[in-house]
Structure 1
Amino acid sequence: LWVPQYLHVAMDLVDMGTVERVLKAVPKSDHVLIEAGTPLIKQFGLSVLSKIREIRPDSFIIADLKTLDTGNLEARMAANASADAVVVSGLAPIETIEKFILEARKTGIYAVIDMLNVSDPVKLVAELAKRGAAPGIVEMHRAIDTEGSKPNWGKIKDIKKAAGGKLLVATAGGIRQNVVKTALESGADIIVVGRAITASKNIQNAAEQFLDEMNKEEIDQFRVMTDF
């Protein structure tokens, strides 16, 4: 993940036919990340990652395990299943999160902390940084069941500062096109979108509209110009 911003397509799905349709329709881009959501992994197990990889061999794939215990074991399981990143819940004991992050590093994948229902994300990131276990990605997540609430994106810059180094922040939870600019202006590096893409009648068009909103064409052109 070398140059934000990224569109992160979250597949919180339980039907493999729908998964395949989404994977084939979402544009192939360096700035599109693919997530095997928690319901998808619960339905099919981590073996679903290899099925995703068959359809999109070059995509960056995230396994949303929302780990709460056995952090090092679950991080390694995701790495062995070909994940590029794996998600731990910020509600887990800090020792679990620390072991999870260190194991993810050891296996060469990104550790993501999902801050759903975490009261003080800045404090958690600062404590992990003190332990030498700052995550690669922090996800500021509003639950599907609480989408009427206001998203808490005001702390993004504080979270990055608390990490004391390079850290990407994702915004998630009922994201629609009309809030993309606000999220980016708040400091978000990754925009997590689920049903607005996966449940769309025209999946490709929906994803392209989000990418347009993020002005990804300009960044892709920049990459081409600097690859020589």
Structure 2
Amino acid sequence: MRSELLETLRRTKFLQVALDFIDINDALVVARKVSDLENVIIEAGTPLVKAEGIRGLLKLRELGKIVLADTKTADAGDVEVEIAYRGRSNIMTVLGAMDDSTVESAVKKAKELDILVQADLIGVKNTVDRAKQLYSLGVDIVGFHIGLDVQRKRGVTVADLKDEIRETGKYGIVSVAGGLSPKNINDLVELPISIYVVGGAITKSNAPRKVAEEIIKILSTSTIATR
């Protein structure tokens, strides 16, 4: 499963729908509207993982899509991999700013349980250098992430990190998150990105499926840049 999913991510651009809800029923309303679309990853956002746990992950997995549990693990990496695994998630996340021992713990357990580890670069200053280190520690995906608080305070999105994304893409699979919408994703399609994470532009829309379809159409116009 790991090897098959990794190969798919290397050759295909995915839309990841971030379900940052607290109630699983609210999350399912959106998830069901996009679950039949191709090249979609369903993300149980960190608030949803905290609020609904394994039960919520299992309900999302019933939709038959790739599921990412955004655990944002800061400690006890192996334990939180186990949580994602029991929820039948395909991918879990660890904070790239944490100690290497936490990352290594997550990677080791994830390989045993046949799921992927994504390292989230939120809060990391030297993103490219840390990304290289994280790949060497065995993470499968590195995620560039501009958090909501930073977006609000500084008015920046992940689209402002093109140079860092381009450089990091030389070394492994890249995910991007933070303020993405149909308006700015077009500026990123030629970069070596496998996963485009979109939250509010879809979940807060009156027509979430329509927005998702628009983004998927944009992504389908290009292939992942050669590493």
TM > 0.5 between the two? yes
The answer for the alignment partner of 1:223 in structure 2 is: none
1:113-128 matches, cutoff 5 A: 113-128=119-134
Consecutive unaligned residues in structure 2, runs of 5 or more: none
State the TM-score, normalized to the length of structure 2: 0.86
The answer for the alignment partner of 1:29 in structure 2 is: 37
1:127-163 deviation per Cα after TM superposition (whole angstroms, max 9, x unaligned): 3444xx33111110011112212532311232233x4
Structure 1 Cα separation of the partners of residues 104 and 184 of structure 2: 32
Q: Which among 15, 27, 39 is matched to residue 23 of structure 2?
A: 15
Whether the 8 Å contact between 1:171 and 1:183 is mirrored in structure 2 is no
- Percentage of matched positions with identical amino acids: 30
Q: Name the aligned partner's letter for residue 48 of structure 1.
A: G
Whether the 8 Å contact between 2:34 and 2:209 is mirrored in structure 1 is yes
Whether the 8 Å contact between 1:125 and 1:134 is mirrored in structure 2 is no
Q: Name the aligned partner's letter for residue 145 of structure 1.
A: D
Q: Which shows bigger deviation, 20-29 or 105-114? A: 20-29
Whether the 8 Å contact between 1:153 and 1:171 is mirrored in structure 2 is no
Deviation at residue 19 of structure 1 after TM alignment: 1.1
Q: Which among 55, 66, 75 is matched to residue 72 of structure 2?
A: 66
Runs of 4+ in 1 over 6 A off after TM superposition: none
The answer for the alignment partner of 1:178 in structure 2 is: 183
Structure 2 Cα separation of the partners of residues 35 and 193 of structure 1: 10
Deviation at residue 77 of structure 1 after TM alignment: 2.1
Aligned residues: 210
Quote the RMSD (CA, aligned, Å): 1.8
1:167-203 deviation per Cα after TM superposition (whole angstroms, max 9, x unaligned): 3211101101121122222322111000111111111
Question: 1:47 aligns to what SS in structure 2?
Answer: helix
Whether the 8 Å contact between 1:98 and 1:128 is mirrored in structure 2 is no
The answer for the alignment partner of 1:200 in structure 2 is: 205
> Which structure is larger by alpha-carbon Rg, 1 or 2?
1
Q: Name the aligned partner's letter for residue 187 of structure 2.
A: T
Deviation at residue 51 of structure 1 after TM alignment: 1.2
Deviation at residue 105 of structure 1 after TM alignment: 1.7
Structure 2 Cα separation of the partners of residues 65 and 157 of structure 1: 26
The question of 1:153 aligning with 2:162 is answered yes
Question: 2:21 aligns to what SS in structure 1?
Answer: coil
Whether the 8 Å contact between 1:27 and 1:207 is mirrored in structure 2 is no
1:6-155 matches, cutoff 5 A: 6-54=14-62, 56=63, 58-130=64-136, 133-147=137-151, 148-150=155-157, 151-155=160-164
Structure 1 Cα separation of the partners of residues 30 and 73 of structure 2: 25
Whether the 8 Å contact between 1:157 and 1:187 is mirrored in structure 2 is yes
Q: Which among 9, 13, 18 is matched to residue 5 of structure 1?
A: 13
Whether the 8 Å contact between 1:140 and 1:153 is mirrored in structure 2 is no
Distance verdict in 2 for CA 1:16–1:198, change over 3 Å:
same
Whether the 8 Å contact between 1:27 and 1:204 is mirrored in structure 2 is no
Deviation at residue 84 of structure 1 after TM alignment: 0.3
Question: 1:182 aligns to what SS in structure 2?
Answer: coil
The answer for the alignment partner of 1:224 in structure 2 is: none
Whether the 8 Å contact between 1:64 and 1:87 is mirrored in structure 2 is yes
